[in-house]
Amino acid sequence: MRTTLGLYRPGTSVLHRLPAGAKLATLVVAGVVSIFLRTPWSVGGALVVTLALYAAAGLGPLVLWRQVRPLLWLLVVLAAFHLLVSGWQRAVVVVGVILVLVLLAALVTLTTRTTELVDVVVRVARPLRRIGVDPERVGLLLGLGIRSVPVVVGLAGEVREAQLARGLGSSPRAFAVPLLVRTLRHADRLGDALAARGVDD
């Protein structure tokens, strides 16, 4: 199982060419605005705008679907909960807002090179140097975070395949334990590799 969740897709659209800082700032604004979305109509409007942005970036329904798929169960459960407890309007608003924000965040990473995002974060974090925070390290953390998603998903796929190949059924524990072991081992080796590449200075 290999994923391309939220990973940069080269392109030449306006969204690709927009500076990374502008995109991140817009994302923050969208996050603030979303707090004030209270009606199904306004949320529906936000969703339409989001979908239009995907189209403008030249990203098709398949890419869109890939960003949503990992969240699907969470959204279904949330929707069911709010339907029962607070009615359909609330269900649409809650699920819709999460959907819009996730899609927008994914849109930023899909249309921006990680290096550019890292550069912006390093720049924004520069004042933190005074309180002892190394901005380069904050940026690195972001890069590693983005890079780690496919790694862990890939490890999960490997564990699953190994289980199937050995004729083991799907026991959650037989899945979780080796996944945890592999993830920790990966983290350990990554630490060594980062040190070797001079990141501990």
Partner 1 sequence: MPTIELDGVSHAYDNRRVLDDVSVTLTEHRIGVVGANGSGKSTLARLLNGLVHPSSGSVRVDGLDPVTQGREVRRLVGFCFTDPDAQIVMPTVAEDLAFGLRRHRLSREETAERVEEWLGFAGLAAHRDHPAHLLSGGQKQLLALAAVLITRPEIVVMDEPTTLLDLANARRVAERVAGLPQQVVLVTHQLDLLAPFDRVLVVDRGHVVADAAPAEAVSTYRQLMEGR
Tell me: does residue 8 bind partner 1 (CB under 8 A): yes
CB of 20 to partner 1, least distance (A): 13
- Contact, 150 vs 4, CB < 8 A? yes
Q: What is the distance, to the nearest Å, from the Cα of residue 127 to the centroid of all Cα atoms in its chain?
A: 26
Binding marks (x or -) toward partner 1, 27..66, rule CB under 8 A?
----------------------------------------
- Contact, 140 vs 121, CB < 8 A? no
* Residue 50 buriedness (CB in 10 A; 0-12 / 13-18 / 19+): buried
Query: How many CB atoms sit inside 10 A of residue 11's CB?
Result: 14
Which helix (H) or strand (E) covers residue 85, if one does? helix 72-111
Q: CB-wise, 11 or 44, nearer to partner 1?
A: 11
Q: CB-wise, 31 or 158, nearer to partner 1?
A: 158
Tell me: does residue 189 bind partner 1 (CB under 8 A): yes
Tell me: does residue 136 bind partner 1 (CB under 8 A): yes
Q: Tell whether the torsion through CA atoms of 77, 174, 7 and 189 is positive or negative.
A: positive
List the one residue from 102, 108, 114, 156 that touches partner 1 (CB under 8 A): 114
DSSP assignment of 118-162 equals HHHHHHHTGGGGGGT--HHHHHHHHHHHHHHHHHHHHHHHHHHHH
Q: CB-wise, 19 or 87, nearer to partner 1?
A: 19
Stretch that binds partner 1, among 17-25, 57-65, 81-89, 137-145 (CB under 8 A): 137-145
List the one residue from 49, 56, 162, 193 that touches partner 1 (CB under 8 A): 193
Q: Quick one: tokens of 120? A: 């912006």
List all residues 6 or more positions away from 158 whose beta carbon is below 8 Å from its beta carbon: 182
| Binding residue count for partner 1, defined by CB under 8 A | 29
CB of 140 to partner 1, least distance (A): 8
List the one residue from 4, 26, 42, 183 that touches partner 1 (CB under 8 A): 4
List the one residue from 58, 70, 154, 178 that touches partner 1 (CB under 8 A): 154
Residues at the contact surface with partner 1, assessed by CB under 8 A: 2, 4, 7-8, 10, 113-115, 136, 140, 143-144, 146-147, 150-151, 154, 186, 189-190, 192-198, 200-201
